Amino acid sequence: MSMSVPYTGGFALIVVLFILLIIVGSAWLF
């Protein structure tokens, strides 16, 4: 049960980094 918490946190971190990458990429293109 405790192993699902770090996995969820890591998944959320990846999603945040991915969204941040898209925002920075869009800002760099324009």
Q: Say whether pLDDT at 6 is over 70.
A: no
> What is the per-residue pLDDT for 1?
47
Q: Cα(3)–Cα(16) distance, rounded to whole angstroms?
A: 21
> What is the per-residue pLDDT for 4?
58
Element (H, E) at 30: none
The pLDDT tens digits of the residues spanning 13-28 come to 888 999 999 999 998 8
Helix/strand/coil for 1: coil
